[in-house]
Amino acid sequence: MQKAPVLVLNANFEPINICNIKRAIGLILSGKAAMVANGRGYIHTISKLIPEPSIIRLEYMVHRPRPHIRLTRREVFRRDNFTCQYCGQHTTNLTIDHVQPKHLGGEHIWTNVVAACPFCNHRKGGRRLTESQLKLIRQPIEPPSNANYLYGSQLYENNEWKPFLIGW
């Protein structure tokens, strides 16, 4: 079986997770989920053909709190589109910079961290923005925790997910 991602929808068609094909087929065969879209073909067993799901919908409503994006290096780079927030250079060689340095009372929160190239980060050093004479291209904010941001990075492989991710 392939390890292609499968979008899991709640009973109200809200996207809640991504799982693999093996897990999705297990949920379908146990009656806990129904297939919404088959965009990948079939799995051949001895006695029958099982469609490979691309999107499944749970038969029952799952109540869970809204997800929050964890503050990690990868998510900061993703939020800032792999672009230095001081000079605008688009690169994968980035560092994390605290706008208000931690030793001057700055916190490690979404609104105080940005992606910076090593040159700009070194140039700013442990100083405030006004002292270093650098300006931010874009003010840092916490990224949205909507389905389009959470699962949108996989849309290029799974185009059939688009109607289910837009609007949530």
Those residues whose C-beta lies under 8 Å from the C-beta of residue 44, and which sit 6 or more positions away, are: none
Gap between the Cα atoms of 149 and 79, Å rounded? 9
The answer to whether residues 96 and 115 touch, using CB atoms and an 8 Å cutoff, is: yes
| Residue 82, domain CATH | 1.10.30.50
Same domain, 46 and 92: no
Do 81 and 128 fall within a single domain? yes
Q: Is residue 137 part of a domain?
A: no
Q: What is the pLDDT of residues 137-153, one digit of tens each?
A: 999 999 988 877 887 77
The pLDDT of residue 43 is 83
pTM, rounded to two decimals: 0.73
Percent of the chain at pLDDT > 70 equals 96
Range of the domain at 79: 73-132
Token pair in block for residue 154: 């996989």
Confidence of residue 61 (pLDDT cuts 50, 70, 90): very high
139 lies in some domain: no
How far, CA to CA in Å, does 101 sit from each of 6, 112, 129, 131? Answer: 42, 9, 9, 12
Count of domains forming the chain:
2
Ramachandran sector of residue 15 (left: φ over 0; alpha: ψ -120 to 50; beta: rest): beta
The predicted-structure confidence for 4-32, as pLDDT tens digits, reads as follows 899 999 999 999 989 999 999 999 999 99
Q: Say if residue 44 is in the same domain as residue 61.
A: yes
**Residue 140 is assigned to a structural domain of this protein:** no
Q: What is the pLDDT of residue 27?
A: 94
109 with 158, same domain: the answer is no
59 plus 77 within the same structural domain: no
